[in-house]
Amino acid sequence: MTDEPAPLEAGPAGEGIRPGYGDLVAGSLAVVFGATVLVYIRGFPQLPGGQPGPALFPGIIAGLFALFGGILVVRWFAQRRAGVDAVVEGAEQPERPTTKAWLTALAMCAAVVVYLLVVDLLGFTLTMSVLLFALMKLLGTRTLLAALAAVTTAVVLVLLFQMVLLVPLPTGILG
């Protein structure tokens, strides 16, 4: 054995941001997804001549999903066995997000869902102002700045989209 670094061919630069199960999970998901689609499209109609029609492209794509997902999984096991850590030159390795960061990201997603749920009731301006204020407070903005920025953004959006671009933003039953 030489003490040379692991051969780069084992994993081209840029992959394996985090050593662990990422590739295994992603590959397996691709295989399962491909297989599911392949089963699902059996119900699609054929062309009058009996050739595949609507099912052809999704079928090819699903087959390739399964194939490349499989390659990812096989490669993961191969790398595991060879003891190659998936981290190679060129791969960014961001720090693991803290629990607080995860919660903030979750709040960002939740904000979109909350927006969808209440916008037809409260109207755009109010909903957006409140959500923006809440998110900015959560990210640690001072109250006054957050309030000012939130309301300004909501009003600018209304002016820009409703007045200039003539997009009918929801007014809500209160508006």
Partner 1 sequence: MDNLGSALALVADPSLLVVVLLTAVYGLFIGSIPGLTATLATALLVPFAFFLEPLPAIAAIITMSAMAIFAGDVPSALVRMPGTPASAAYTDDAYRLTQSGKGALVLGVGLVGSAIGGIVGAVVLIVAAPLLAEVAVQFTSYEYFWVAILGLTAAVVISRGSQVKGMISLLIGLFLSTVGIDIALGYDRFTFGSTALLQGISFIPAMIGLFGFSEVLRNVLHPAGRPLTPELSTKGIFRDSFRTLWRYRRAAVTGNAIGTGIGVLPGAGGDVAAWVSYAVSKNTSKEGHLFGTGKGHIEPIVSAGSSNNSALASAYVPTLVFGIPGDTITAILIGVLLVKGVEPGPALFAEQSPLLYGIYAVFILANLLMIPLGYLTIRGSGMLLRVPRHVLMPIILAFCIVGSFAINNGNLEIIVMLLLGILGYLLERGGFPLAPVVLGLVLGPIVEQNFMQSVIKTNWDLAQFFTRPISAVLMVATVLVLAYPTLARMLRRAVLRRR
Residue ranges in 138-167 that form contacts with partner 1 under rule CB under 8 A: 139-141, 145-146, 149-150, 153-154, 157, 161, 165-167
Asked if 23 contacts 16 with a C-beta cutoff of 8 angstroms, the reply is yes
* Residue 5 vs 168, nearer CB to partner 1: 168
- Can you tell me which of 6, 10, 35, 61 binds partner 1, judged by CB under 8 A? 61
Buried b (16+ CB within 10 A) or exposed e, 82-115: eebebebeebeeeeeeeeeeeeeeeeeeebeeeb
Judged by CB under 8 A, does residue 51 bind partner 1? yes
How far apart are CB 15 and partner 1 at their closest, in Å?
4
Partners of residue 52 on adjacent β-strands: 46
* Residue 122 vs 128, nearer CB to partner 1: 128
- Within residues 100-129, the interface with partner 1 by CB under 8 A covers 101-102, 104-105, 108-109, 111-113, 115-116, 128
# chain residues binding partner 1, by CB under 8 A: 71
* Residue 15 vs 126, nearer CB to partner 1: 15
CA pseudo-torsion sign 174, 136, 151, 159: negative
